[in-house]
Amino acid sequence: MTAVTITPLNDNTNGWSRILPPRQPKPALDRDLVVDWVVVGAGQVGLAAARRLAENRPGDSIALVEAGTAGEGAQGRNAGFIIDSPHNVGSSLGELSAARDYVTLARTAIASLEEQVRKYDIQCDWDPVGKLHTAVSPLGIKEILEPTRKVLDALKEPYTWLEGKALHERIGFKHFSTGIYTPGSVLVNPAALSRGLADNLPTNVTFYENTPVTEAQFSPEIRLTTPHGTIRAGKLIIAVSVFAGQFGVLRNRLIPLSACGSLTRQLTEEEQSRLEGSRSWGLTPANAFVGATVRRTRDQRILIRQDMRYWPQLRRDSASYKPISEHHQELFDHWFPALKGVTIENTWSGYICISRNDGAGFGEVAPDVYTAVCDNGLGWTKGTISGLLIADKASGTDNPLIATYEAIGQPSRLPPRPFLDVGVSARFSWELWRHRREA
Ligand SMILES: Cc1cc2nc3c(=O)[nH]c(=O)nc-3n(C[C@H](O)[C@H](O)[C@H](O)COP(=O)(O)OP(=O)(O)OC[C@H]3O[C@@H](n4cnc5c(N)ncnc54)[C@H](O)[C@@H]3O)c2cc1C
């Protein structure tokens, strides 16, 4: 029996859900349960896994348990980029086959998400507007954008290289010097999409919200403890991202990061007319640790995502948001002087799970116990596809993409804390200093 000592806390700061209508969560588990399958975690991975299991095994009973509520974990706190193109590439073409595989996996995930958005008419501002990958400095262009261009050329993927005025006319502000536009990515309100996916699960999935798992036993039988009931299941899928170590899974292999986002209030018609550029766009920075992700959303707000940090404590004091919000406001005022007086309405944070070698935690970790975690910050595409594929693997359903996903490899072992803390902090400081002009 493993005691889960840290469970997620919802600090009610998520700006994406605050701009949505109120939603009634599904009831928490309040009795003992025996099911064929239990999936823990209703992020991109857990939602995709529960749906695919239900499709593969229509006669089976499936419980999906979530510590918080739909769209309030990282799945609803991200920047809302559903990214189909390789944009974190190395400096050579050696990763080409991995890049090609990524595109295949990502597009399969996007097709699955789009099918559900259409089928259930999910109102999430689904916006197939593509995305920009942008740099400020010559170093960012040389080390990230130029290798990315070579990979796109080799993959024969369409893109547009934009410099100076051409880029500024597209986005309406001048901070970034160069960008690569790729047309296949989709932008969404991530909380709205997560809620929509959770509220339209197949009938043989029962979704329990506000139901944290506090103890997990894998043998001689699978048994989970929650505050008001236990769950005994034939098979278990653990889809809890950075919390996997709490279940005794992939300990010393996952690196938890905290990233922060802010949304301004909605721009008035008059303010929108003062802002040049397209009415909806999104850009990701050359260096994700240092630079900012920025969006003009379909509903006419500006999003800024920055301040990524190593965050092993998995808890954040609400007072820590004030300096981040002030920093995002300063960036906004500096970048969009024509919008003087527009204020940031909400600032929040969420967790990203990465590994040292970009490996993904995917597979059977004990008899009848499976996990899919660690998408290295690409939750909408890698998280969704890993959820679909872990369900196929666990239910014995053939899918050639399982081998493609497994080829990514497992997360490599990390040094124990406090050596890990020192190492990751040193690496962050180096990245921040070396790419300081990308900030
Ligand atoms: C600010 C920010 C910006 C980002 N931008 C993007 C982006 O633009 N595009 C993109 O693709 N990705 C982005 N990401 C990353 C993305 O959000 C994550 O990679 C993704 O959400 C991970 O999905 P998941 O299903 O593995 O985990 P999560 O979405 O974190 O879901 C795991 C769930 O498990 C639940 N859980 C944990 N422990 C327990 C327990 N004991 N009992 C029950 N439930 C439990 C949690 O409450 C949580 O809801 C961003 C992340 C952040 C924080």
**CATH code of 246's domain:** 3.50.50.60
Query: What are 253's two structure tokens?
Result: 């292999």
For a substitution probing ligand 1, which of 2, 44, 87 has the most ligand atoms within 8 Å of its CB? 44
For a substitution probing ligand 1, which of 29, 75, 85 has the most ligand atoms within 8 Å of its CB? 75
Query: What are 404's two structure tokens?
Result: 């493609």
Whether the per-residue pLDDT at 259 is higher than 50: the answer is yes
For 139-189, the pLDDT digits (tens) are: 999 999 999 999 999 999 999 999 999 999 999 999 999 999 999 999 999
pLDDT given at position 91: 41
For 221-238, the pLDDT digits (tens) are: 999 999 999 999 999 999
- 207 CB less than 6 Å from ligand 1? no
Ligand 1, atom 24: closest residue by C-alpha: 43
- 144 CB less than 6 Å from ligand 1? no
pLDDT band at 99 (very low <50, low <70, confident <90, very high): confident
Query: What are 21's two structure tokens?
Result: 């209508």
CB atoms within 10 A of CB 2: 14
Give, as one character, the DSSP assignment of residue 380.
Answer: I
In a domain, 401, yes or no: yes
C-alpha 293 – ligand 1 centre gap (Å): 17
Query: What are 52's two structure tokens?
Result: 């695919």
- 40 CB less than 6 Å from ligand 1? yes
pLDDT given at position 87: 63
| Chain-centroid distance, C-alpha 428 | 20
Whether the per-residue pLDDT at 267 is higher than 50: the answer is yes
pLDDT band at 98 (very low <50, low <70, confident <90, very high): confident
C-alpha 19 – ligand 1 centre gap (Å): 19
pLDDT given at position 159: 97
Residue 307 or 210, more confident: 210
Query: What are 106's two structure tokens?
Result: 């990502």
The whole-chain average pLDDT of the chain stands at: 95
C-alpha 75 – ligand 1 centre gap (Å): 4
C-alpha 45 – ligand 1 centre gap (Å): 8
Q: Where are the alpha helices (DSSP H) in 209-336?
A: 269-274, 321-335
Ligand 1, atom 30: closest residue by C-alpha: 74
pTM of the model: 0.97
**Averaged over 56-63, what is the pLDDT?**
98
As for how many domains the chain has, the answer is: 1
C-alpha 166 – ligand 1 centre gap (Å): 35
**Averaged over 269-298, what is the pLDDT?**
95
**Averaged over 327-353, what is the pLDDT?**
96
C-alpha 154 – ligand 1 centre gap (Å): 32
The fraction of the chain above a pLDDT of 70, given in percent, is 98
- 387 CB less than 6 Å from ligand 1? no
Strand arrangement of the beta sheet that strand 131-135 belongs to: 160-163, 178-182, 131-135, 281-285, 293-296, 302-310, 255-264, 344-354
Whether the per-residue pLDDT at 93 is higher than 60: the answer is no
In a domain, 131, yes or no: no
Start-to-end CA span in the chain (Å): 45
pLDDT given at position 92: 46
User: Amino acid letter at 237?
Assistant: I
Give, as one character, the DSSP assignment of residue 145.
Answer: I
Query: What are 361's two structure tokens?
Result: 């935690």
Alpha carbons 408 and 403: distance in angstroms, whole number: 9
For a substitution probing ligand 1, which of 4, 77, 81, 243 has the most ligand atoms within 8 Å of its CB? 243
pLDDT given at position 15: 97
Domain that holds residue 403: 2-76+192-254+358-422
In a domain, 286, yes or no: no
Residues 6+ apart with CB under 8 A from 46: 39, 40, 64, 66, 237, 239, 240, 387
Ligand 1, atom 35: closest residue by C-alpha: 41
Helix 384-394 crosses helix 96-119 at what angle (to 10 degrees)? 90
pLDDT given at position 90: 45
In which residue are the tokens 């709490």 written? 246
pLDDT given at position 402: 98
In a domain, 14, yes or no: yes
C-alpha 65 – ligand 1 centre gap (Å): 14
pLDDT band at 85 (very low <50, low <70, confident <90, very high): confident
For 345-383, the pLDDT digits (tens) are: 999 999 999 999 999 999 999 999 999 999 999 999 999
pLDDT band at 94 (very low <50, low <70, confident <90, very high): low
**Averaged over 307-321, what is the pLDDT?**
90
pLDDT given at position 428: 84
Position in ligand 1 atom list of the atom nearest CA 10: 47
User: What beta strand segments (E) does 326-421 contain?
Assistant: 344-354, 361-366, 369-373
Write phi, then psi, for 31 (nearest 5 degrees). Answer: -155, 175
**Averaged over 6-23, what is the pLDDT?**
96
Whether the per-residue pLDDT at 37 is higher than 80: the answer is yes
In a domain, 341, yes or no: no
Whether the per-residue pLDDT at 9 is higher than 80: the answer is yes
β 229-238/255-264 pair status = unpaired
Position in ligand 1 atom list of the atom nearest CA 247: 41
Position in ligand 1 atom list of the atom nearest CA 72: 49
In a domain, 135, yes or no: no
Q: Per DSSP, what are the bridge partners of residue 255?
A: 354
**Averaged over 89-109, what is the pLDDT?**
77
In a domain, 24, yes or no: yes
pLDDT given at position 305: 97
- 7 CB less than 6 Å from ligand 1? yes
β 255-264/344-354 pair status = antiparallel
Residue 431 or 60, more confident: 60
CB atoms within 10 A of CB 323: 11
- 189 CB less than 6 Å from ligand 1? no
| Chain-centroid distance, C-alpha 245 | 18
Residue 201 · residue 51 · CB < 8 Å: yes
Query: What are 239's two structure tokens?
Result: 């889809």
The fraction of the chain above a pLDDT of 90, given in percent, is 89
- 127 CB less than 6 Å from ligand 1? no
pLDDT given at position 437: 85
pLDDT given at position 38: 98
pLDDT given at position 314: 94
User: Amino acid letter at 402?
Assistant: I
pLDDT band at 95 (very low <50, low <70, confident <90, very high): low
Residues 6+ apart with CB under 8 A from 196: 116, 117, 120, 122, 123, 124
